[in-house]
Structure 1
């Protein structure tokens, strides 16, 4: 890896290769290892496909390969195969950043000071009917 680039090792690519599609027609695909390394680079960096370094090949190739293989289920198959081969994880992490609460769950506007409508007023009838 140089300049923040990601490259699959020969061993890593060897584990992926049996799961790659073989049913291609027409022109032979460009180097799978280079393209997959570029796809991983874009996904890890969180950048745009258009910002992928040229060393990975045409940016459109990276995007098209990612989208087409996603539609065919190739990435899901690779994930399941690698997850099954690796055994149980040494650590399991839980991320709670996606927990949402309603905007009024924190007390809402105005803080927690009592309001006139919070309790019954002595000379007024109840505000709700039984």
Structure 2
């Protein structure tokens, strides 16, 4: 299966919707269509959807350090994706959707595979 907007084919793990906090002064929550694959989380505006060239943003797992700051309130689970350059991106989802767990598990799987590859490669640190 091909991940929308991805440079290379990647297996889609899950598709759905998250809310992302904007970087603007008012920090409004904006709905995003999301596609979780084995190597990235792709975000699209709901209007553009997953259409090719839909102006999406791809967060590759190689640039993500961790999923952090998980907090559950009555209706939502709030979590932060921390990038390797220390940028924080805030998300929320309905509590029953467990998006934070899906992203965390995919990230751990990616990091484990990368660690094994690094270990097996002759020039490993």
TM range (shorter): under 0.3
TM-score, normalised to structure 2's length? 0.27
Structure number with greater Rg is 1
TM-score, normalised to structure 1's length? 0.26
Higher percent of residues as helix: 1
Higher percent of residues as strand: 2
